[in-house]
Amino acid sequence: MSSAWKIFFAIFAVALMLYAPDVAADLTSADPDGNGILDEVKDRYIFAAMMWRGVILEHATWLFWILVLINMVWTFGMMAIQKADIADFFREFVKFAVVTGFFWWVLLNGPVMATALYESLMKIGAEAGGLPEGLSPSSIIEVGFEISARVNNVLTVWDPIDSLVVILAGVAILIVLALVAVNMLILIISAYILAYAGFFFVAFGGSMWTRDMAINFLKTALGLAVQLLGMVLIVGIGEGFLNHFASQMSGEINFSELTVMLVICIVLLILSNKIPALLAGIITG
């Protein structure tokens, strides 16, 4: 790398750290209620997804009953051709009605079921992790901005080399924690998009030939709920540990303390990538 690029990255790092408090204010206080910009992005996506439900349900209803009609004609038509007796017809009708009624109920209540499952397991994870107010993507990155603000307080032009090293370590911590927050944000948004858009595929439960697609919606929703549980557990533990370590750091923050913090953040990032998927494997196989 040329000297010009080194100088550019050094200036960029200094600028990022100097403006970190202002960015932190935007990310953690995006509205009067104190919700951060990441939480606002999450809420906007969830609200937009909720608006899809009516249109999707209308089309899914038509598809469901068309498949039910085809399935009914085929099932009872074949029984008529085989000259089945009335007991066989009654038994098959009861089975057909129960299965059709179940998938119709799931189609009408799929988003409610999925979101209730998400919220329940996230609440369980928050309670298990000792987080009375739950956990949000914005709350994770607050730790990084807190460290950035503390780094700004120890910068000095009389020791530019050490200051630059500390700045780079602080930037690395901030980036890693931002990745953790984004991972959680993406997982939450994906779960709610599945709930309010993916429930369309429950309509395929109207036919015995396509019923596996409807079952896959239920399995996928449960798998995402388990991933959210794992994410809240892991990130909750990591956030508590980071807050505790940050409070124990000396007033004259140094590179060795930042290095330890960076290692902790990297471990948290890797765990947040691996553990939720591992737990979801119990459901999806």
CA-based nearest residue to 284, from 205, 168, 194, 176:
194
Q: Could you give the CA distance from residue 173 to residue 104 in angstroms, rounded to a whole number?
A: 49
End-to-end CA distance of the chain: 46
Q: Are 167 and 253 in contact (CB under 8 A)?
A: no
Q: pLDDT tens digits for 165-221?
A: 677 777 888 888 888 889 999 999 999 999 999 999 999 999 999 999 999 999 999
d(CA 20, CA 23): 5
Average pLDDT, the chain: 80
The structure tokens listed for 30 are 């995006």
Is residue 32 over pLDDT 70? no
48-102: pLDDT as tens digits: 999 999 999 999 999 999 999 999 999 888 888 888 788 888 889 999 999 999 9
Query: What is the Cβ-side half-sphere exposure of residue 65, based on CA atoms within 13 angstroms?
Result: 6
Give residue 141's pLDDT band: very low, low, confident or very high (50, 70, 90).
Answer: confident
Q: Tokens at residue 240, please?
A: 């508590």
**Residues 149, 153: Cα–Cα separation, whole Å:** 7
